[in-house]
Amino acid sequence: MGRKLPQILTEEEFNQVLKVTKQPHHRLAFKLAFLCGLRISEVVKLQPKDIDYNRKLIFIHQAKGGKDRYVPIAPSLKRDLRILPFKCGMRALQTAFKEKVKKAGIDKDLHFHSLRHSSATFYLRKGMDLQQVQVFLGHSNLSTTSIYLHADPADIEKKVSEIWK
């Protein structure tokens, strides 16, 4: 049986979710997952001491598989990070995300982890290569990262049209 492709948010849909999210901690959590590719467990564990503003990096301690990694800080996050540490847990973030997706009028079966999937897809489409995305997400195997290589039918149609001009 084949593997089901993860549901993702487009950049526009992500911005819609942010527009309806007023709680600063929720907004920051959603941004960290989408802009930095963080898992929900990595988001809630984040502490002010993990932010290196000089090097523009976030240090992720003991992520999945007990691995540490550094993640670049997206420029739009710098000011938001000052509200750390988080005042909510994983379940609260999962619930908040589901509510905000619905409030934004997005009819997809999305979960908080969908933000991480969306992040990987977003960066691949913006030109980051697969190996860079692998390191960014902290995957041990390239095959894990390769699930984000799913092709958008609209992109394929555009490419076919270009070839047959």
CATH of the domain at 94: 1.10.443.10
Phi, psi of 49 (to 5 degrees): -65, -15
Residue ranges making up the domain that contains 49: 11-163
* Residue among 64, 82, 102, 159 flagged as catalytic: 64
**Structure token digits, residue 91:** 């379940």
Are the C-beta atoms of residues 84 and 24 closer than 8 Å to each other?
no
Note the pLDDT tens digit of each residue in 9-24.
Answer: 999 999 999 999 999 9
- CA distances to 138, 139, 151, 157 from 66, in Å: 11, 12, 32, 42
Q: What does the alpha-carbon distance between residue 156 and residue 11 come to, in Å, rounded to a whole number?
A: 19
* Residue among 27, 39, 100, 117 flagged as catalytic: 39
1 lies in some domain: no
Is 19 a catalytic site residue? no
What's this model's pTM, rounded to 2 decimal places? Answer: 0.83
55 lies in some domain: yes
Is 139 a catalytic site residue? yes
pLDDT band at 156 (very low <50, low <70, confident <90, very high): low
**Structure token digits, residue 35:** 């802009």
Are the C-beta atoms of residues 56 and 73 closer than 8 Å to each other?
yes
Is 126 a catalytic site residue? no
**Structure token digits, residue 47:** 């502490």
Stretch 33-46: mean pLDDT, rounded?
94
Q: Answer positive or negative: Cα dihedral of 121, 123, 126, 132.
A: negative
Is 148 a catalytic site residue? yes
- Total domains in the chain come to 1
* Residue among 56, 98, 113, 150 flagged as catalytic: 113
31 lies in some domain: yes
155 lies in some domain: yes
Residue 154 carries which side chain, given as an amino acid letter?
A
53 lies in some domain: yes
Question: Which range among 4-13, 77-86, 111-120, 141-150 shows the weakest confidence by mean pLDDT?
Answer: 141-150
Is 25 a catalytic site residue? no
44 lies in some domain: yes
